[in-house]
A and B are shown apart, each in its own frame.
Chain A
């Protein structure tokens, strides 16, 4: 079974789309498209972390419910873990390719 790099990249891109709640694309992806997706996922994580920080601050000043803070922090944690896992896999795949004898 022949698996080219584009197929793998496409699969990663689709995984990312599913993670961000969008429908997976069936068309062929490109390297730059995947980079863009990673960027978006990164922005999503930063956004989630900002939200969690904002609600933590509100909790300290007694304005937010503890449940709301926990929710924001849990969301941020899960988003960060997902992105880190995807990044690790991408780097591992890249290194596998680089280690291939020419």
Chain B
């Protein structure tokens, strides 16, 4: 049944978006995680990429997280002599996490999740209507 397939696709989308939100939470939580030694890198921002995957049993294209990529450039610098990770000039490398970008991403994940929820709602009410018709 086609509407059953929409359920499967939408639920896959919701799972993918939950995973994306998890990565965003990690980024935000570690926005201040610096290294412990001067030559080590601070927390590196992660981003998720999605890919379409063919569900052969249903014959539909669902979505899943392809991989979680680590970005290892664009660190900030903060002058803080005495910090365990401060180099000879007194600068500490800060993570390449921008809270505003992460918040934007979070909002997008939230909206995508809601969109998939709405698909489920719509499919469910369509199925409900046709079953009502069957009841007579």
Contacts and interface: CB of A to CB of B under 8 A. Distances in A.
Given A71-B8, A74-B120, 9 more contacts: A19-B1, A67-B11, A68-B15, A70-B120, A71-B11, A78-B127, A81-B128, A81-B131, A89-B134
B7 interface: yes
A84 B7 CA distance: 21
A8 B14 CA distance: 42
B7 A71 contact: yes
A37 interface: no
Interface residues of B, number: 17
Contacts of A70: 11, 120
User: How extensive is the interface on chain A, given as a class?
Assistant: 10 to 19
Contacts of B135: 85, 88-89
Interface in B104-136: 120, 124, 127-128, 131, 134-136
A82 B131 contact: yes
A65 B64 CA distance: 14
Contacts of A74: 7, 120, 124
Contacts of B72: none
Contacts of B124: 74, 78
A67 B14 contact: yes
A101 interface: no
